[in-house]
Amino acid sequence: MSNQHLSPLREPLVTEPRSLGQLTEEICAPMERAPTWKWWVAFGIAVSVLGTGAGIVGYQVATGIGVWGLNKTIGWAFDITNFVFWVGIGHAGTLISAILFLFRQKWRTSINRAAEAMTLFAVMCAALFPVIHMGRPWLAFWVLPYPNDRGSLWVNFRSPLLWDVFAISTYFTVSAVFWYVGLIPDLATVRDRAKAGIRKAVFKVMSLGWTGSNRTWSRYETVYLLLAGLATPLVLSVHTIVSMDFATSVIPGWHTTIFPPYFVAGAVFSGFAMVLTLMIITRVVLGYEHLITLRHLENMTKIIIVTGGLVSLAYATEFFIAWYSGNPYERFAFMNRAFGPYAWAYWIMVTCNVVSPHLFWFKKIRTSPAAIFVLSLVINVGMWFERFVIIVTSLHRDFLPSSWAMYTPTMVEVGTFIGTFGLFFTLFLLFVRVLPIISIGEVKSVLGFARDGHAAQPHPPAKPVAEEPHPVAHRPASPVPLAIATRKDAPV
């Protein structure tokens, strides 16, 4: 039982009464039953797109990046646009897992696992583009500063591109460790449920001898808290360093100090939109409407309202500073964005990123999964166009009118970008089949949130059954014990 105050204003985080065993069964079901035809169709499409993308990448590696639409003026375009896009997508996972955990936001428990996995898959997709852009991807290891016999050939530590290497690799490593540590209690649950064989042996190794004792939980929570504190600065630093790819240059439209916070806000903005896209599909396909509730969706839309407002402020600030600076080149760069040849891309960006998030001010819209799903797709489209506008419109008309040029992506570039979606969804679909998509232990810890003792019982007994009080806390006034599983419960 619990001493927590049950406010009538609170809504349960698990909307249907469930026992601890029922929660375990529901979350483990996708792993233990045969995949449905819907999963096979989705997996087949994702693998087909991935295979096509792999073939296109192989072609451009064999032929050279001359198959792209780049020219002497526009040396960065689709590739760096997609790189920044995917890095931004990966930001929401760490934000949900680390920052919201440090702020003790209980509603994160049903979505943090999938968001963390999304972070890893998005970073994998992002890493492909700089490697391909090298032209000789088999020499990608040259960016690593290690003792070598190549004479004076050494990495340039003053280059933001090298900073990207360290930022992305660090972010991926810490995020992967954080994700894995959070999985350990659930891996032990799957281990205990698995029948003898390879599956049980694999999960036995992966669960690292988890016993579920108080000492094990105490050490686990300490490590998880430390990793959350370590991962939190990465949310700010990674996209800050990515923004320095542009901000450290002298090109009008790039040379600005607003880029670091602007890029971080945009990354969280687009990342939460992608989490909403995936979670809305997941809750319907897997029947998790009672675990991934409207409250979860509504809270994420509120974060989108905040970050969308920051992005809108950044857009306005850029134009104001371009005017206030009195620099004719800066003024021309931004007027060219809004009214030049690529004005269509700019106004798509503004419509998707500035106008559409304000629809979430209406409660009817932010509690409608269909409306949220559509708007999350619109926001992701807008954020891709934001990166395209920043990169291409700042390059295609530079200081010399004689070097002005236009850029049009080739089918190879478009096919590569689409192929990364195949990689992303292939990995996500395999993740759903192999590992628990929702944290079992953490959802159990909020099972009794905002419930009284009667509501927590999925099937009330016909007659009162004597039951010993909970050893940690109890509420004598409650006639029925509150079914709460703390993080110190052994896996069910």
Quick: pLDDT tens for 264-322: 999 989 989 999 999 999 888 888 888 888 888 999 999 999 999 999 999 999 999 99
Whether residue 481 is contained in a domain is answered as no
The length of the chain in residues reads 492
Judge whether 242 and 84 are in contact, CB under 8 Å.
yes
Whether residue 473 is contained in a domain is answered as no
How many whole angstroms separate alpha carbon 216 and alpha carbon 233? 27
Task: Report which residue type is found at 93.
Answer: G
Percent of the chain with pLDDT over 70: 89
Question: What is the per-residue pLDDT across 143-169, written as a single tens digit (0 to 9) for each?
Answer: 888 887 777 777 888 888 888 888 888
Percent of the chain with pLDDT over 90: 39
Judge whether 115 and 242 are in contact, CB under 8 Å.
no
How many whole angstroms separate alpha carbon 364 and alpha carbon 296? 15
State the CB neighbour count (10 A cutoff) for residue 146: 7
Whether the predicted pLDDT of 137 surpasses 90: no
Whether the predicted pLDDT of 475 surpasses 60: no
Per-residue confidence (pLDDT) for residue 8, from 0 to 100: 63
Question: What is the per-residue pLDDT across 3-49, written as a single tens digit (0 to 9) for each?
Answer: 444 556 677 778 778 888 888 888 888 888 888 888 899 999 999 99
The candidate with the shortest Cα–Cα distance to 194, out of 485, 435, 445, 487, is 435
How many whole angstroms separate alpha carbon 43 and alpha carbon 429? 7
pLDDT band at 334 (very low <50, low <70, confident <90, very high): very high
How many whole angstroms separate alpha carbon 121 and alpha carbon 110? 19
Enter the tokens of residue 105.
Answer: 């936001």
Number of domains in the chain: 1
Per-residue confidence (pLDDT) for residue 411, from 0 to 100: 93
The strand ranges marked E within 206-361 are none
342 exposed, middle or buried (CB, 10 Å; 0-12, 13-18, 19+)?
buried
pTM score, whole prediction:
0.85
Enter the tokens of residue 154.
Answer: 């050494």
Is the sign of the CA dihedral 176, 182, 188, 193 positive or negative?
negative
Task: Report which residue type is found at 428.
Answer: F
How many whole angstroms separate alpha carbon 259 and alpha carbon 449? 40
The strand ranges marked E within 129-194 are none
Whether the predicted pLDDT of 182 surpasses 60: yes
Whether residue 359 is contained in a domain is answered as yes
Whether residue 412 is contained in a domain is answered as yes
Whether residue 217 is contained in a domain is answered as yes
Instruction: Identify the residue whose tokens are 């930001």.
Output: 91
How many whole angstroms separate alpha carbon 68 and alpha carbon 64? 9
3-state helix, strand, coil in the chain (%, to 5): 65, 0, 35
Q: Any idea what DSSP says for residue 198?
A: H
Whether residue 467 is contained in a domain is answered as no
Task: Report which residue type is found at 266.
Answer: G
Whether the predicted pLDDT of 53 surpasses 90: yes
3-state class (DSSP) for residue 171: helix
Whether residue 15 is contained in a domain is answered as no
Per-residue confidence (pLDDT) for residue 302, from 0 to 100: 93
- Report the Cα 124 to chain-centroid distance in Å: 12
How confident is the model over 468-477, as a mean pLDDT? 41
State the CB neighbour count (10 A cutoff) for residue 391: 24
- Helices first, then strands: H and E counts in the chain: 17, 0
pLDDT band at 483 (very low <50, low <70, confident <90, very high): very low
State the CB neighbour count (10 A cutoff) for residue 432: 22
Question: What is the per-residue pLDDT across 384-429, written as a single tens digit (0 to 9) for each?
Answer: 999 999 999 999 988 888 889 999 999 999 999 999 999 999 999 9
Question: What is the per-residue pLDDT across 91-133, written as a single tens digit (0 to 9) for each?
Answer: 877 877 888 888 888 888 888 888 889 999 999 999 999 888 8
Task: Report which residue type is found at 305.
Answer: I
Per-residue confidence (pLDDT) for residue 9, from 0 to 100: 65
Whether residue 6 is contained in a domain is answered as no
- Alpha-helical (H) ranges within 71-159 are 78-89, 91-94, 100-102, 112-133
- Supply the range of the domain harboring residue 376: 28-144+156-446
